[in-house]
Amino acid sequence: MNTPTAEAVPATAELPEVSESLMKMRTRILTGFEAMARDAGPKGVIMTELVSQLGISTKTLYRCFPNKSQLVTELIRSWSIEQKEHQQRRIDSTMTPRDRIVEASLNWLEHYGQFSAGFWLQLERDYPQAQAMYQREYDEFIERSRQNLTPFVKPQLNADLALSGLMVLLDHAGSMEICEQLDITRKTAITQMVNLWADGALMGI
């Protein structure tokens, strides 16, 4: 990191219990950090610029997040909490499995697309704890999706194979190169691919 003060506390240190006002400050810092990191990547965020933009002191920043690595990890954790809430809302709703897949895929596309390629590269290369959490939470999200969708897959199909095929199709449909080649938006490509898959894999939906 470019902030020696931030490295005084190990990245793996647990955040202390805090008051409601400090929790609100953490949320504010995370929001500001996320906005700056979208293009520059987490490593590219200069902490002095962050505190200046937020109008807070460096002391306040490091009281909330002892180092940048912990700040990045907490950002990933906040994404996980939000995604779990969205996923549970879809499960509890009257949406069909097809519509749940479309909404989940488009929500992810919108979220992922906010961040530069440099952001994801830095996350993987420079923040192993945050990257490990990101991968673990993604795997758990996929497993919950698998469990929720399996009952709706046609009985003559192997559900795990069908669902892994869906992931391959979504990855293909989300490719900017493919979309530019076919002159369609990624939103259109993903929606069409989900419907194509659902017609062949889901029961009467």
Residue with token string 């420079």 = 126
Closest C-alpha to 141, from 198, 72, 91, 187 = 91
Q: What is the DSSP letter of 17?
A: P
What is the predicted pLDDT for the residue at 20?
87
pLDDT digits (tens, 9 = 90+) for 117-136: 999 999 999 999 999 999 99
Question: Is residue 67 pLDDT above 60, yes or no?
Answer: yes
C-alpha to C-alpha distances, 80 to 93, 95, 123, nearest whole angstrom: 20, 22, 15
**Reduced to 3 states, what is the DSSP secondary structure of residue 202?**
strand
Q: How far apart are CA 201 and CA 2, in angstroms?
A: 50
Closest C-alpha to 186, from 169, 203, 174, 199 = 174
Task: Please state, as a whole number, how many other Cβ atoms lie within 10 Å of the Cβ of residue 67.
Answer: 21
pLDDT digits (tens, 9 = 90+) for 160-171: 999 999 999 999
Tokens read off for 14: 């647990």
Summarize the confidence of residues 152-165 as an average pLDDT. 95
Closest C-alpha to 145, from 79, 205, 97 = 97
Q: How far apart are CA 122 and CA 114, in angstroms?
A: 15
Give the CA-trace dihedral at 126, 129, 132, 138, to 10 degrees. Answer: -100
Q: How far apart are CA 198 and CA 203, in angstroms?
A: 8
**Reduced to 3 states, what is the DSSP secondary structure of residue 145?**
helix
pLDDT digits (tens, 9 = 90+) for 7-45: 333 344 455 556 788 899 999 999 999 999 999 999 999
pLDDT digits (tens, 9 = 90+) for 93-124: 999 999 999 999 999 889 988 999 999 999 99
